[in-house]
A and B are shown apart, each in its own frame.
Chain A
Amino acid sequence: MFPQFGATADTLSKASTMVFRIGTDAHLYDDPDDVSIAPLLDSKFDSEKCEALKRLLALIAQGIDVSNYFPQVVKNVASQSLEVKKLVYLYLLHYAEKRPNEALLSINYFQKDLGDPNPLVRAWALRTMAGIRLHVIAPLVLVAVGKCARDPSVYVRKCAANALPKLHDLRQEEHALAIEEIVGKLLNDHSPAVVGAAAAAFASVCPYNLSLIRRNYRKLCEILPDVEEWGQIALIGILLRYVIASHGLVKESIMFSLQCTESSHSVKDGSDADFGQVKESTDMGGTCDYEFVNMVSRCYIEGPDEYLSRSSYANRESFQLTDEQFTSGKSNDDVKILLYSTSPLLWSNNSAVVLAAAGVHWVMAPKEDVKRIIKPLLFLLRSSNASKYVVLCNIQVFAKAMPSLFAPYYEDFFICSSESYQVKALKLEILSSIATDSSISSIFKEFQDYIRDPDRRFAADTIAAIGLCAQRLPKMAHICVDGLLALTREEFVTKDFGFGDQEAGILTHAILSIKSIIKQDPPSHEKVIIQLVRSLDSIKVPAARAMIIWMVGEYSTLGEIIPRMLNTVLKYLAWCFTSEALETKLQILNTVCKVLVGATEDVWTFKKIFSYLVELAECDLNYDVRDRVRFLKKLQSSNLVSIGQEEGTNDLPEKDLLHVVAECILGRQTRKVKAESFSYRFYLPGSLSQIVLHAAPGYEPLPKPCSLLLDDRNVPEGTSEIKKTVADYSGTDDYGTSSEGSDDESASDYDSQHSVAESSGSGRGDDSEFTSEGNDNADPLIQISDFGNASENQNGVSQSGPANLGELMSDRALESWLDEQSGSSNPGISEQSQVRISSARISLGDVGKRVKPKCYSLLDPATSGNGLKVDYSFSSEISSMSHLLVCIEVFFKNCSSETISEITLVDEDSNRALDAADKAADVNQSSLASSDNVPTLVPMESIASLEPDQTARRILHVRFHHHLLPLKLALYCDGKKLPVKLRPDIGYFVKPLPMDVEVFIDRESRLPGMFEYTRSCAFTDHIEELNKENGDSLFVKDKFLAICESLALKILSNANLCLVSIDMPVAANLDDASGLRLRFSSEILSSSIPCLITITVEGKCSDPLNLSIKVNCEETVFGLNLLNRIANFLVERTLG
């Protein structure tokens, strides 16, 4: 009858010893491993298995790793006892990820259980199977979930919905679609319980797939009140996002208020902006802080990080909500139904549901209906202490944005002594932001009680809150100040013994509050300042004293009485200077200086006091004081002299610089500082981010209004957008888009001038010669050399390198290298170079020939040119006339059908230009004095006439006065004057400066630090090149060569440089281009200062490369501009 009786005798005896804990699992928790667990697991009795599993569970609970029992536990999955099953599942879920191989053993049993008639067994099996997180079984789980999603039992379907995020969490892309499909199906389920779980799955699996919601939005809204509370939270969030994405914000809501009031706001700004920006909104009868609301709503939509970073770039206007992004809450049914279905949830028993529903109303509800959320929110404050804090954090934002909403309920924010400090502080803040003229008196009564609270930190906060109230309600300022003054006079705060920091903190806060109230309107608080000054003797707290002394300096010229007191006060301060604390001393010095600057009478006395203080302070123990006094003495020296000479008439026009500085620094800062700096971050109501005040991982701001509609409009929309971005891109580039109009002539021109250093004997640009050497594929030659012995290498004394060098060479290159190596005979050098060789050197033969300078359009035939098309490109030619001139090739083409005559290009101010041109001819090129006379544009030979389709080419010698600003020219044709702009390209303000690598490195080393600038950018051109190579399989070019070539080509086509060397990494693998280095040299045309450019490559051959560009140049500004230009054109894709 009791088959297991014998086995449990042991347990029984143990249990009987513990009479009080009879029948509980206490003994299992206390001594989980006092019996051997393994045999129990293998027992054939369920009760023994149970005991063993409970012991394991106890060990898990205590944080002991018992994963070594895994194989034995897994076997028990097959048990028929539900309790054993449950315990095994608990164990499995805890360890499955650790022991994936053994966990696989259990899969068969899960599969079997999934077919069990008991829904509980099916659900558990599914939950566990999905929970063990094995990538291998993901397809199986997916099938199981799909099957369970059609299960007749609601509970199983619910578990299927819960399993979806687990599957999604494995991040297997191939299942994403299938998962979303199941989510969609479950969202359509008729049981509210399943819909709730499906909503939660939706939120974590595919929160952007709002089209799933569109299908059954109405149904979801209707089912919302019946969904389980936890599912409601998720579903509310999803519905809100959907409505905003598809219909936009609501016109009548708070979020819209800024749109209509912005203009009135700016007008009013001057008058009362300083008092918290509270404005009466006449239509709704409530007050609303528009600037604040605007910021809140933008933060909701954009996410505060994005918003704040953008606003710091001072282009706030770039994100504007247009009218189409708003909808009317009165006529839009989707909005109405959402509000209708969420409003009863404000009565929910679950505070998270209430807050989520309140969030929807806050964002979407018409302004007059928002008040519906107030009472439920306040009622939440009566739930647990923990949720009270969270709710208050949210109310705080609401109350700041719309104080009028909460103003009548100020009593709810009165503070109980049992509350935690955080809650108290929040309540104080809310109270001070919702106080109105009618409620302020009772709020103040409360505050007076709080000041007497034993929690002194709270009392100090209360004082700060009083200050805030007074600033918000200027009418109350006098009462507040009186109260605060009375407080400062109280015995317990002025005494500096006893309670140390806390009482000092209260006094400091009191003075601080007074100070900020006075700041609002100094003249009316003159008496307060006087009283404070009088109390100086009794106030001992240094921070408080320092503040009062600051006020003396700040308001020294205010009113009638204060100036007359100054004499005495300063004498008193000087007298007690030595006994003061550091901050007070510093403040005394400042104040005396300030008084001295502003003084009109008694200057002599002040001067004496100041010099007395200077003497004292110069010998002070603290170096801060000594520093400060030295600084002030210097500042005042001029002032003292001028005063000494002309008795107080220090506003003479010939004030010297020091005096002006002194006035600026010490003079009264009458500039009003904005009452509140809006540096807050706002996150959606009810979010975790709003509590911790940073974007938690996974936080998503609301979708952009109407974004769903935009997405759904089909392809043409998308392509136009792309076009637009392309246009934008080229628009931001000062140099315009490249055109294919460069012709051979210019290329060869370039070639003849350009020389690449270290040419390896092959005639550059001479293809036939190159190929005749036996290289049938016209590959450039690769040379490998030791870095340090490059010259030797050139002489044919080759160096040996590590044998694995060969790995990265193309075959032919390797051969040549091997040949060279055979000649090596010096083991000593080879050993040495084994260590030192880290790169090989490559020469590119024919790159110069392929250089195509970019062509820019000067005059467009269609728009303004009357059929004349003028393009120009920078030429690598060096002007023979002056080193200040840059050569530009200009191409004229007649695109019209008529002959155009008399084409000439002159400087805007042509007269002067012509004058100067005469001189320019005989100007000595190098003379500095004459350089000013170099004309902006050497007059070009005018084109007498240009037939249709005829082209003409001219070389212009142009002097750019600035390397970035365009030059305005005038183009005359047919007697008409057309203004054109010539954009400079800094890449052609230099000329190639051929040099050796050694010389390069030597010069580079002499231009360190501030003459060296680096920037990095990405480079992608080579990818295309590489792909092209792969395409035609006739021969495979070395990847490195392809990269070098495309890089060099790109640079030489955009700047007039000389390629010095290309270093190739050696110790890298074939696909890694890291370490590839190109060196270019040049000198600045105008000043002949050398400019060295080094480009280092980082990254994989087939991926976008990361380039680091370094420019070494003595002329800092030029160097930086050149660097930016190089980085810009490297990033730019070569078009065409």
Chain B
Amino acid sequence: MLQCIFLLSDSGEVMLEKQLTGHRVDRSICDWFWDHVISQGDSLKSQPVIASPTHYLFQVVREGITFLACTQVEMPPLMGIEFLCRVSDVLSDYLGGLNEDVIKDNFVIVYELLDEMIDNGFPLTTEPNILREMIAPPNIVSKVLSVVTGNSSNVSDTLPGATGSCIPWRAADPKYANNEVYVDLVEEMDAVINRDGVLVKCEVYGEVRVNSHLSGLPDLTLSFANPSILDDVRFHPCVRFRPWESHQILSFVPPDGEFKLMSYRVKKLKSTPIYVKPQLSSDAGKCRVNVLVGIRNDHGKTIDSITLQFQLPPCILSADLTSNTGTVNILGNKTCSWSIGRIPKDKTPSLSGTLVLESELERLHVFPTFRVGFKIMGVALSGLQIDKLDLKTAPSRLYKGFRALTRAGEFEVRS
């Protein structure tokens, strides 16, 4: 059972504390936490479960905000972590992003949300759609209204009907003039290319995102043309397990609005859409860098917002890098980022320059890893294809839309 949740800002300030059980946790635990983060460096900052002298701490860091939960007794750590992740998702959904100011500005809503989401240290209502009905998200209309009338209540007077139904993710009976449902395939490509230029690992992590505005209680079925390529899947609670088990058909009553229907993984892909060829040669205290980026095979779609990031090794004193396309920035923490954008038709983008090594060092012995970013609209690189989307008892007019998008995930090129 979680006993307390703290929201900490990047500077270490406790922005918010919410005691969950009768066993109060003093906020001095946060001081302990920061002392140890400072003394042990990043290793503690990235450790999700910490055993402090008095409490066990779960920590999740999102956009500079640290969500810290405390417990003193045995509980599944993933439950604590997953819950904190949900909290951060809900908050960033409500507040349109997460940062110190936005939490402070809306602290009442944060309190009200936390109070609904967890009761006595056990999660109570985490379904975003119900929460939305219970506590209205701040929007420009309500803001203006509150200023004018002075009545700023965002707490709903009635219990959302969904809390009682057996499909808690769906609000009771929404009515829409236009019935529409949109299905997006959002994929992220993870790839590792080793020092020899060999593609070690290439897989796609994808999500099926559905945005549904359907009246009544719609029962949808979604099927894929090639479900066999899916390696692993995870489903939204609305998906019925048995039809998937037997026929690999997604049968579900969708929540209202946007939600993640399923996530999947496709492994062992053979190629990446772009190539990155870094060359580093060092001699006599200098290191020559040359990086080429290009399109490997044409999907017929343009590849957007290509970026390249790498961390200069600590033994490098200075760097002088230029590129023929895009801009190169070297940040204070020796992070170098090269944003290319779109690859021009006429030339191959290249980054070149020299790095000066520390004085005693002849040659470079540690090599940076290049992290690649890109975005391709309109294509799912895994090759997954949606076959059809059916609605039982279809209303007179139903708009269906499909889209696809692929981004780079953990795309790494070692040099």
Q: Are B410 and A416 in contact, CB atoms less than 8 angstroms apart?
A: yes
A490 in contact (CB, < 8 A): yes
Contact of A688 among B56, B85, B104 (CB under 8 A): B56
Interfacial residues of chain B within 35-58, with CB under 8 A of chain A in the complex: 42-43, 46-49, 51, 56, 58
Complex-state Cα separation, A895 to B144, whole angstroms: 107
Give B358-377 as 1s and 0s: 1 = Cβ < 8 Å from A's Cβ atoms. 10111101111101000000
* CB proximity of B158 to chain A, nearest CB, Å: 6
B151 — which chain A residues lie within 8 A by C-beta? 4, 47
B145 to chain A, nearest CB (A): 8
Indicate whether B405 reaches chain A with its CB closer than 8 angstroms: no
Measured CA separation A57–B157 after assembly (Å): 21
* B345-385 interface (Cβ within 8 A of A): 358, 360-363, 365-369, 371
A63 at the interface (CB under 8 A from B): yes
Are the C-beta atoms of A24 and B75 separated by less than 8 Å?
no
Contact assessment for B46 and A497 in the assembled complex, using a CB-CB cutoff below 8 Å: no
Would you give the 0/1 interface string for B229-247, flagging 1 where the beta carbon is closer than 8 Å to chain A? 0011111110101101100
Classify chain B: how many residues form its interface, as a range. Answer: 35 or more
Residues on B with C-beta less than 8 A from A163 are: 120
Q: Which of chain B's residues has its CB closest to A48's CB? A: B150
Does A26 reach chain B (CB closer than 8 Å)? yes
Interface-side segment among A140-148, A385-393, A566-574, A801-809: A385-393
- Distance from A357 Cβ to chain B, minimum over Cβ atoms (Å): 12
With a CB–CB cut-off of 8 A, which chain A residues contact B371?
417-418
Decide if B108 is an interface residue (CB 8 Å cutoff): yes
A83 to B109, CA, bound (A): 11
CA distance A29 to B367 in the complex (A): 48
Q: Within 8 Å CB of A165, what residues of B?
A: 1, 120, 122
A385 touches B46 (CB 8 A): yes
Bound complex: CA of A154 vs CA of B161, how far in Å? 10
CA distance A421 to B42 in the complex (A): 9
Verify B241–A162 contact, CB threshold 8 A. Answer: no
- Cβ of B399 < 8 Å from any Cβ of A? no
The answer to whether A2 touches B149, judged by C-beta atoms less than 8 angstroms apart, is yes
Q: Nearest Cβ distance between residue B376 and chain A, in whole angstroms?
A: 20
- Residue pair B265, A97 in contact (C-beta under 8 Å): no
Report yes or no: B311 in contact with A454, Cβ–Cβ below 8 A. Answer: yes
The verdict on A414 contacting B201 (CB below 8 Å), with A82-B157, A155-B164 known, is yes
CB distance from B372 to the nearest CB of A (A): 12
B344 at the interface (CB under 8 A from A): no
A228–B165 Cα distance when bound, in Å, is 12
Q: Which of A445, A452, A491 contacts B367 (CB 8 A)?
A: A452
- Which among B16-24, B179-187, B292-300, B387-395 touches the partner chain? B16-24
Residues on A with beta carbons closer than 8 Å to the beta carbon of B260: 349
- A929 to B152: give the CA distance in the assembly, Å: 107
Q: How far is the CA of A1041 from the CA of B27 in the complex (A)?
A: 55
Residues of B within 8 A of A452 (CB): 195, 365-367, 414
Residues of A contacting B177 in the complex (Cβ-Cβ under 8 angstroms) = none
Option from A54, A63, A344 in Cβ contact (under 8 Å) with B245: A344
Fill in one digit per residue for A10-39: 1 if any B CB lies within 8 Å of its CB, else 0. 011001100001111110111000000000
What separation, in Å, do the CA atoms of A383 and B300 have in the docked complex?
31
Q: Is A119 an interface residue (CB 8 A)?
A: yes
Query: Dominant SS at the A interface?
Result: helix
Cβ of B279 < 8 Å from any Cβ of A?
Answer: no
A697 interface neighbour in B73, B77, B111, Cβ under 8 Å: B73
**How far apart are A681's CB and chain B's nearest CB, in angstroms?**
14
Interface SS of B by simple majority: mixed
> Does A564 reach chain B (CB closer than 8 Å)?
no
In the bound complex, CA of A442 to CA of B198 (Å): 11
Q: Residues 347-362 of chain A: 1 if any B CB is under 8 Å from the residue's CB, otherwise 0?
A: 1111110111000000
Q: A474 near B: Cβ within 8 Å?
A: no
Query: In the complex, which residues 86-143 of chain A have their Cβ closer than 8 Å to any Cβ of chain B?
Result: 86-87, 89-90, 93-94, 97, 118-120, 123, 127, 130-131, 133
**Contact A61 B79, beta carbon cutoff 8 Å:** no
The distance in angstroms between the C-alpha atoms of A169 and B20, with both chains bound, is 13
Instruction: Point out which of B72, B75, B200, B205 has the most chain A C-beta atoms below 10 A from its C-beta.
Output: B75
Q: Are B73 and A15 in contact (CB under 8 A)?
A: no
Interface size class of A (residues with CB under 8 A): 35 or more
The answer to whether B150 touches A699, judged by C-beta atoms less than 8 angstroms apart, is: no
Using Cβ atoms and an 8 Å threshold, which residues of chain B touch A58? 107
In the assembled complex, B283 has its CB within 8 A of some CB on chain A: no
A386-B59 contact, Cβ under 8 Å, with A15-B147, A23-B152, A355-B78? yes
In the complex, what distance in Å separates the CA atom of A254 from the CA atom of B140?
59
**A16 contact set on B, CB distance < 8 A:** 147
Interface string of B191-206 (1 = CB under 8 A from A): 0101110001100010
Q: Which of B151, B196, B233, B367 has the most CB of A within 10 A?
A: B151
The answer to whether A389 touches B21, judged by C-beta atoms less than 8 angstroms apart, is no
- Tell me whether B76 and A63 are in contact (CB under 8 A): no
CB of A420 within 8 Å of the partner chain: yes
In the complex formed, the residue of B with least CB distance to A130 is B120
Is A411 an interface position by the 8 A CB rule? yes
Distance from A378 Cβ to chain B, minimum over Cβ atoms (Å): 7
A452 to B369, CA, bound (A): 10
B16 close to A61 (CB less than 8 A): yes
B22 & A97 in contact (Cβ 8 Å cutoff): yes
CB distance from B135 to the nearest CB of A (A): 9
A197–B122 alpha-carbon span in the complex (Å):
9
**Chain B positions 253 through 290: 1 when the CB is less than 8 Å from some CB of chain A, otherwise 0:** 00000001001010000000000000000000000000
- In whole angstroms, what is the CA distance A956 to B232 when docked? 85
From 677 to 693 in chain A, residues with beta carbon under 8 angstroms from any chain B beta carbon are 686-689, 691-692
How many angstroms from the CA of A225 to the CA of B194 in the assembled complex? 42
A1116 CB-CB contact with B under 8 Å? no
Is there an interface contact between A689 and B232, defined as CB atoms closer than 8 Å?
A: no
Q: Does A5 contact B (CB under 8 A)?
A: yes
Chain B residues 98-118 with CB under 8 Å of chain A are 101, 104-109, 111-112, 115
Cross-chain contact of B152 among A50, A120, A697 (Cβ < 8 A): A50
Known contacts A23-B152, A417-B371; A378 and B49 CB within 8 A of each other: no
- Which residue among B60, B120, B126 has the maximum number of chain A CB atoms within 10 Å of its CB? B120
CA A1058 – CA B7 in complex, angstroms? 72
- List, in ascending order, chain B residues with CB within 8 A of A130's CB: 120
A495 CA to B358 CA, complexed, in Å: 14
B216 at the interface (CB under 8 A from A): no
| Chain B nearest CB, measured from A197 CB (Å) | 7
A54 to B231, CA, bound (A): 50
A25, B108: Cβ atoms closer than 8 Å: yes
Q: Is the CB of B158 within 8 A of A54?
A: no
Distance between Cα atoms of A154 and B195 in the complex (Å): 59
Q: Are A233's CB and B153's CB within 8 A?
A: no
What is the chain A residue whose CB lies nearest that of B369? A417
Question: B159 near A: Cβ within 8 Å?
Answer: yes
Q: Known: A197-B122, A349-B237. Is A382-B164 also a contact (CB below 8 A)?
A: no
Leading 6 A-B pairs by shortest Cβ distance:
A23-B143, A386-B48, A420-B46, A344-B241, A8-B150, A352-B78
A and B contact pairs by CB, cutoff 8 A, 28 listed? A2-B150, A12-B150, A22-B147, A23-B138, A54-B108, A63-B14, A82-B155, A82-B156, A87-B108, A155-B163, A159-B124, A191-B164, A193-B163, A230-B122, A349-B235, A349-B236, A351-B82, A352-B76, A352-B79, A386-B48, A386-B81, A390-B49, A391-B78, A417-B371, A446-B200, A449-B195, A697-B72, A698-B74
- Can you add 10 more A-B contacts, CB < 8 Å, to A57-B108, A154-B164, A492-B361? A25-B105, A82-B157, A120-B158, A344-B241, A347-B235, A386-B60, A390-B49, A446-B200, A691-B77, A696-B74
Interface residues of A (CB under 8 A from B): 2, 4-5, 7-8, 11-12, 15-16, 21-26, 28-30, 47, 50, 54, 57-58, 60-63, 81-83, 86-87, 89-90, 93-94, 97, 118-120, 123, 127, 130-131, 133, 153-155, 158-159, 162-163, 165-166, 169, 191-193, 197, 200, 204, 225-226, 228-230, 233, 344, 347-352, 354-356, 375-376, 378-379, 382, 384-387, 389-391, 411, 414, 416-418, 420-423, 442, 445-446, 448-449, 452-454, 456, 459, 490-492, 495, 497-499, 686-689, 691-692, 694-700
